[in-house]
Amino acid sequence: MKAEQELLHTVESKAKAWTSELFDEDTRKAVKNMLESNPDELIESFYKDLEFGTGGLRGIMGPGTNRVNKYTIGMATQGLANYLLASFAELKTISVAIAYDCRNQSKFFAETTANVFVANGIQAYLFESLRPTPELSFAIRELGCQSGIVITASHNPKEYNGYKVYWDDGGQIISPHDEAIIAEVANIQTIDEVKFSGGTAKIMALGKEMDDKYLKEVKSLSLNPELIKKYSDLKIVYTPIHGTGVELVPNSLKDFGFTSVFNVPEQDVTDGNFPTVISPNPEEKAALNMAIQKAKEVQADIVMATDPDADRVGIAVNNGDNEFILLNGNQTGSLLVYYMLNEWKNKGLLKGNEFIVKTIVTSPLFSEIANSYGVNSYEVLTGFKYIANIIKEKEGHEKFIVGGEESYGYLAGDFIRDKDAVMSCALIAEVAVWAKSKGLNMMELLDEVYVKFGLFKEHLISIVRKGKSGSEEIAAIMENLRSNPPLTLAGSDVVMIHDFRKQKSVDMISDLRYDIKLPKSNVLQFLTQDGSIISIRPSGTEPKIKFYFSTRKKIDSAEELKAAHKSLEEKIQKLVVDIGAQ
Positions annotated as catalytic residues are 154
Of 428, 539, 429, nearest to 478 (Cα)? 539
DSSP string, 181-203: HHHHHHT--SGGGS-----GGGE
Of 301, 315, 231, 225, nearest to 262 (Cα)? 301
CB-based contact 400:414 (threshold 8 Å) = yes
Q: Count of CB atoms within 10 A of residue 371's CB?
A: 12
Close Cβ partners of 477 (under 8 Å, ≥ 6 residues apart):
536, 545, 580
CB-based contact 251:172 (threshold 8 Å) = no
Beta-strand pair 235-239/302-306:
parallel
Close Cβ partners of 38 (under 8 Å, ≥ 6 residues apart):
none
Strand partners, 376: 355
CA distances from 431 to 349, 377, 400, 434 (A): 18, 21, 19, 5
Helix, strand and coil in the chain, % to nearest 5:
45, 20, 35
Q: Count of CB atoms within 10 A of residue 441's CB?
A: 20
Q: What is the enclosing helix (H) or strand (E) of 577?
A: helix 561-579
Q: Count of CB atoms within 10 A of residue 375's CB?
A: 24
389 vs 42: CA distance, rounded Å: 40
Length of the chain: 582
